[in-house]
Amino acid sequence: MKKNFIIIMAVALALISGQAMAQDTESWTIKARVGYSIGGTAPLGIPATIRSIDKFSLTPSLMAGADVSFPLQNQWGLMTGLRIENKAMKVDVTTKGYRMEVVKGDSKIEGLFTGHVSQDVTEWMFTLPVLATYKLSNKVTLKGGPYVSVLFNKDFSGIASDGYLRQGDPVGPKIIMGDKPGEWATYDFSDDLRNCQMGLEVGADWQVHEHLGLSADLNWGLTGIFKGDFKTVEQTLYPIYGTIGAYWKF
């Protein structure tokens, strides 16, 4: 899937480049953007091993970048650009029999954890979208298409506390984890995160002034955030974020 996605993106960029060379540069539209994203990294459907979501904290998930768009025919056009963005999440959950690999003291142990999990996810990335656009009116433009993101800073870590872990399997040795420093266990799967993520983006731009506009977008990851050979977390986790932003049209 990853290879096919990269081929599609390369072909799309080649088509855009060829079309752009054939276009009068006066027909191009350049926009500088900023935005704030709200969302999370989660499985599609909450598994039974996660009994409750106890706390979800908004985090500074920011986006800034620029894009160029140009018309094709009628109301249709193409848009691409480059963005730097952060997708982050802080969440506390209660689990029962959730497979984990944690560090307690000097020991690394793996098994089924029942208790409280505090999780932090932070991913900084460069994102390249390739979007089809449709001019709904003089002020509103719809857009949608694939994107590819390359991560340059990533963190997936947390604390397992106030419970116990059955080492290996459901009847394995029971290891108690308290709710204070030194009693709880930690985990860090940052090195197991993918360096490249791919997905789809849909949204709309609303021109509220000659140069100033507002935007709303939804980014839905199609590839899980972990590498294919990572099996400690059983569920595939997808980044799903909505972004509210503003742009300046040059």
Q: Write out pLDDT tens, residues 181-204.
A: 888 899 999 999 999 999 999 999
- Note the Cα 76 to chain centre separation in Å: 28
The predicted model gives 211-225 an average pLDDT of 95
pLDDT digits (tens, 9 = 90+) for 131-166: 999 999 989 999 999 999 999 999 999 999 999 999
Instruction: Give the residues across from 247 on adjacent strands.
Output: 33, 213
Work out the average pLDDT over 214-242: 91
Biggest CA pair distance of the chain: 71
CATH class of 2-249: mainly beta
Confidence of residue 230 (pLDDT cuts 50, 70, 90): confident
Tally of CA atoms within 13 A in the half-sphere of 127 that contains its CB = 29
DSSP state letters, 61-119:
-EEEEEEEEEEEETTEEEEEEEEEEEEEEEEEEEEEEEEEEEEETTEEEEEEEEEEEEE
Asked if 192 and 227 touch (Cβ cutoff 8 Å), the reply is yes
Q: Is the pLDDT of residue 94 over 70?
A: yes
pLDDT at position 20 over 60: no
Q: What is the mean pLDDT of the chain?
A: 87
- What b/e sequence results for 81-109 when a residue is b if at least 16 CB atoms lie within 10 Å of its CB, and e otherwise? bebebbbbbbbbbbbeebbbbbebeeeeb
Q: What is the pLDDT of residue 48?
A: 86
Q: Give the three-state DSSP class for 8.
A: helix
Tens digits of per-residue pLDDT, 71-92? 988 899 999 999 999 999 999 9
